[in-house]
Amino acid sequence: MALRAVRSLAILSNPLRTYSTSGPLVNVSINEKTGIATATLQRPPVNSLNLELLTELCTTLEQLEKNKSRGLILTSSSNTVFSAGLDIYEMYKPNMDRYKQFWTTLQQTWINLYGSSYPTVAVVNGHAPAGGCLLALSCEYRIMLNNFTIGLNETKLGMIAPTWFAASMRNAIGTRQTELALITGNLFTTDEALKIGLVDEVVQSKNEALEKAGKFFDKFKRIPPHARTMTKTSLRGADIQALVKSRNEEMNKLTAFINDPKLQEAIGMYLESLKQKQNK
Amino acid sequence: MALRAVRSLAILSNPLRTYSTSGPLVNVSINEKTGIATATLQRPPVNSLNLELLTELCTTLEQLEKNKSRGLILTSSSNTVFSAGLDIYEMYKPNMDRYKQFWTTLQQTWINLYGSSYPTVAVVNGHAPAGGCLLALSCEYRIMLNNFTIGLNETKLGMIAPTWFAASMRNAIGTRQTELALITGNLFTTDEALKIGLVDEVVQSKNEALEKAGKFFDKFKRIPPHARTMTKTSLRGADIQALVKSRNEEMNKLTAFINDPKLQEAIGMYLESLKQKQNK
Amino acid sequence: MALRAVRSLAILSNPLRTYSTSGPLVNVSINEKTGIATATLQRPPVNSLNLELLTELCTTLEQLEKNKSRGLILTSSSNTVFSAGLDIYEMYKPNMDRYKQFWTTLQQTWINLYGSSYPTVAVVNGHAPAGGCLLALSCEYRIMLNNFTIGLNETKLGMIAPTWFAASMRNAIGTRQTELALITGNLFTTDEALKIGLVDEVVQSKNEALEKAGKFFDKFKRIPPHARTMTKTSLRGADIQALVKSRNEEMNKLTAFINDPKLQEAIGMYLESLKQKQNK
């Protein structure tokens, strides 16, 4: 019941207000010396991405953009999970207004993160399946702690990774590895992820990860920000434009898909099995 | 003269009837335990792809699709050749109706194989030049026996690999390796092919290959087929749509090209040189 | 002041006449035995690409095309610099007619080199930043001497590598490495360049490089040239068409951009700092 409790709590906290710094689900701190922001996902136990968390994250990214941030580290307050991906409760018997807002916010979060003008590093300090992997893939650089798993495992859940999830993965590991990863829904160990380029560095501790992140940001110290931004846009712009063009169409397909009785039944059974496990 | 004899035989056998299981040129068996089909090319001596073989293969693929196959292994009955590629007799002084049917069937075979909803593994148990390499590339996974060669060597024959041959290769080994491979018409040894990702595994025997193929199919045991299919379509669909859009245009270009007197003369000389070799 | 002196000299030499063999800035020799042409950039001290050098190079490439060349080696007469890239004096307080001609010639040079029908090898016998790297990337094969650097470092200079620079790099090293290289403006050492595929071979001397280049050309000895050409066009044609379509638009954007007072001020300061260094 932990998941639902946290979710209810989050709803009460009014997720739509503008966070100037931190919210209850995303802690934002800025290093005064370097100007680098750290956004820490803090929705125990597994940082499931619900509307409230995504709204906070999306708003945080917009503010960093407006404030011409020097860089962002995205990480987790948990020692075992970076993010477990989309909160399945958002897909179970959803209120359609909320569901649409949920998906729209996910799309916008990706657009803001994948297309950010400032440098971004994911410090993957725990498991990162599905939507957790997407967040990591949307950054420019991925540093992962040992002994965890990462991947777009949607097919294993009977779902399909949207085209922009696939585009983010292709951008990192190329077409062949993306195809193999997506059709098998594979979760890679940290070492496997390093080998295929799904992460850029492997470390033993979060501190070591933060140190390596600092070295990545240092590469931009003498680079005029507008040149960096325009270069990144020229490389990632096509993927983003593809979603901008198709976002309404995608929403229409999903709202039809999510109400399929068989899908709802399957999700219900999956949630029931989770409860059984937690009650043991 | 072996090639021609086999070809004449094949024509007599009425290539256009529907094969529910096996035909004279493609043996199809289905493992009752796993549901995996094995299609074995059996057109001695070198599995040249003529209209009849392609028609059988194309029909086989359609039937597997309709029957919601659990998977396909594509291999050869020969111990030395997977497939020598397109039958050059189909291009020598062709009857144009037959030539058009030949090429249309090749296009459709690729569409069916590259875009199959079921998992596909090529067990490359012999040389796989040109069209033989294309068949292997159209599968999702390639397991190759040692001491053979594979590649799209069309330029060496004075021909151009069609764009969808190139797309299939790019999907497997990326843009750079594809460019080098295609402009040089390189045939890679098994080990070289492994190194650049043109094949996924190297084995010492066909039995070992079949075992490895089984492990690949096992990855899909718990994956809902519709999720796998939609994921594969989202990744390979653009390549297939590109051919669907251009297939008539391609045919028109080819029918003009194939009747070039110089090309026909060159093919004639090539066939004459083959006969000289066989008569020695 | 060496740069400016050389430039003035070049202008006087009437850059627009047609060079049947060599010009003052590009020495062209043809190996009578193999038919391979060697174009040696010879604009001391650093082969900065100004209008005159580009015009010579562009014309040379056109003539090789017309003469159905067997191949081209692109190299430098310097022992330390392959090419330092675009001549910054072409961008400083430019005469707009000359500036437009400069950029048009750069575009056409790339179209001719990247899309050449004949095989091309860059013998990178010195540093190759920015436009120098572009020339190397436009060839089919890159052989680099040890202990130099290469890369598209435009962002470090506050500039953006045009989309066709990026496309040329992506063609060689893929999407991921291109993104990392371009946003950081990284200059790779010879060994780093080999590791990511930015160059194909590393050698210790120019003689060794020329020997390796010979081996690359040997791959095409038995390949009918028209098959090679059509194959290369089918692979690189889309990148070239993208520039052909957008070249006027790019020019319009650049002519607006180049006259930005802040940019001119920045270039002025940069040139002043170069002079200070040279006077020391």
CATH number of the domain bearing residue A257: 3.90.226.10
Chain A residues interacting with chain C (CB cutoff of 8 angstroms): 119, 140, 170-174, 197, 219-220, 222-224, 226-228, 230-232, 234-236
Would you state the pLDDT for residue A92? 95
Could you give the maximum distance between any two Cα atoms of chain A, in Å?
A: 56
Chain A residues interacting with chain B (CB cutoff of 8 angstroms): 154-161, 163, 166, 174-176, 178-180, 182-186
Q: Are B188 and B149 in contact (CB under 8 A)?
A: yes
Cβ burial of A269 (10 Å; 0-12, 13-18, 19+) is exposed
Condensed to tens digits (0 to 9), the pLDDT of residues C22-47 reads 789 999 999 999 999 999 999 999 99
All residues at 6 or more sequence positions from A213 whose CB lies less than 8 Å from its CB, including other chains: A36, A73, A121, A123, A141, A143
The chain C residue lying nearest B179, using CA atoms, is: C235
Chain C residues interacting with chain B (CB cutoff of 8 angstroms): 119, 140, 170-174, 197, 219-220, 222-224, 226-228, 230-232, 234-236
Q: Is B121 among the domain residues?
A: yes
Would you state the pLDDT for residue C139? 98
Contact C158 A228 (CB under 8 A): no
Would you state the pLDDT for residue B21? 64
CA separation for the pair B119, B35 (Å, rounded)? 12
Q: Is B219 among the domain residues?
A: no
Would you state the pLDDT for residue C22? 76
Query: Quick one: pLDDT band at residue A17, thresholds 50, 70, 90?
Result: very low
Query: Quick one: pLDDT band at residue A22, thresholds 50, 70, 90?
Result: confident
Would you state the pLDDT for residue B280? 66
ipTM at complex level: 0.89
Q: Is A116 among the domain residues?
A: yes
Count the domains in chain A: 1
Would you state the pLDDT for residue C280? 66
Would you state the pLDDT for residue B266? 83
CA separation for the pair B189, B148 (Å, rounded)? 6
Query: Neighbours of C (≥3 Cβ pairs closer than 8 A)?
Result: A, B
Output phi, psi for B86, to 5 deg. -60, 140
Residue with tokens 């599995």: B47
Q: Is C1 among the domain residues?
A: no
Q: What is the mean pLDDT of residues A3-26?
A: 47
CA separation for the pair C167, B227 (Å, rounded)? 33
Contact B179 C235 (CB under 8 A): yes
Residue with tokens 């059509």: C230
Q: Chain A partners of B173 at a C-beta cutoff of 8 Å?
A: 176
Q: Is C214 among the domain residues?
A: no
Q: Chain B partners of C222 at a C-beta cutoff of 8 Å?
A: 156
In three-state secondary structure terms, A71 is coil
- Selecting among C126, C131, C132, C185, the annotated active-site residue is C131
- Selecting among C47, C50, C125, C153, the annotated active-site residue is C153
Q: Is C126 a catalytic residue?
A: no
Higher per-residue confidence, A66 vs C20: A66
Q: Chain A partners of B235 at a C-beta cutoff of 8 Å?
A: 166, 175, 178-179, 182-183
Would you state the pLDDT for residue C21? 64
Report the amino acid identity of residue C208: E
For chain C, report the end-to-end CA distance as a whole number of angstroms. 13
Contact C155 A119 (CB under 8 A): no
Condensed to tens digits (0 to 9), the pLDDT of residues A146-159 reads 999 999 999 998 88
In three-state secondary structure terms, A217 is helix
Would you state the pLDDT for residue A280? 65
Q: Is the peptide bond before B119 cis (omega within 30 degrees of 0)?
A: no
Q: Is C258 among the domain residues?
A: yes
Chain C residues interacting with chain A (CB cutoff of 8 angstroms): 154-161, 163, 166, 174-176, 178-180, 182-186
Contact B223 A156 (CB under 8 A): yes
CA separation for the pair B242, B247 (Å, rounded)? 8
Q: Is A86 a catalytic residue?
A: yes
Interface probe with C: pick from A175, A230, A235, most Cβ of C within 10 Å: A235
Condensed to tens digits (0 to 9), the pLDDT of residues C3-17 reads 333 333 333 333 333
Condensed to tens digits (0 to 9), the pLDDT of residues B142-177 reads 999 999 999 999 999 888 999 999 999 999 999 999
CA-CA-CA-CA torsion sign (B243, B246, B248, B250): negative
- Selecting among A53, A153, A182, A187, the annotated active-site residue is A153
Condensed to tens digits (0 to 9), the pLDDT of residues A39-50 reads 999 999 999 999
Min mean pLDDT across B5-9, B29-33, C83-87, C121-125 is at B5-9
Higher per-residue confidence, A3 vs A184: A184
Q: Is A80 among the domain residues?
A: yes
Nearest neighbour of B175 by CB, restricted to C174, C224, C234: C174
pLDDT of A16 over the 70 cut = no
CA separation for the pair C85, C28 (Å, rounded)? 20
Chain B residues interacting with chain A (CB cutoff of 8 angstroms): 119, 140, 170-174, 197, 219-220, 222-224, 226-228, 230-232, 234-236
Query: Quick one: pLDDT band at residue A21, thresholds 50, 70, 90?
Result: low
∠B224-B230-B233 over CA atoms, to 5°?
A: 140
Give residue C165's domain range: 7-207+227-279
pTM: 0.91
Q: What percentage of chain A exceeds 90 in pLDDT?
A: 83
All residues at 6 or more sequence positions from C227 whose CB lies less than 8 Å from its CB, including other chains: B154, B155, B157, B158, B159, B160, B185
Would you state the pLDDT for residue B174? 97
The chain C residue lying nearest B167, using CA atoms, is: C235
Q: What is the mean pLDDT of residues A202-227?
A: 96
CA separation for the pair A198, A189 (Å, rounded)? 10
CA-CA-CA-CA torsion sign (A265, A266, A271, A273): positive
Taking the CA of residue A140 and the nearest CA in chain C, the distance in Å comes to 8
Whole-number average pLDDT of chain A: 91
CA separation for the pair B228, B118 (Å, rounded)? 8
CA separation for the pair A97, A95 (Å, rounded)? 6
Taking the CA of residue A155 and the nearest CA in chain C, the distance in Å comes to 24
Q: What letter would DSSP give residue C121?
A: E
Report the amino acid identity of residue C59: T
Contact A232 C159 (CB under 8 A): no
The chain A residue lying nearest C153, using CA atoms, is: A223
Q: What letter would DSSP give residue C277?
A: H
Beta strands in chain A (DSSP E): 26-30, 37-41, 72-76, 120-124, 128-129, 141-145, 149-151, 188-189, 201-203
Q: Is B221 among the domain residues?
A: no
Would you state the pLDDT for residue C270? 84
Q: Is C115 a catalytic residue?
A: no
Low-confidence ranges of chain B (pLDDT < 50): 1-20
Interface probe with A: pick from C153, C157, C159, C160, most Cβ of A within 10 Å: C160
Q: Chain A partners of B219 at a C-beta cutoff of 8 Å?
A: 184, 186
Q: What letter would DSSP give residue C171?
A: H
Residue with tokens 């040129």: B25
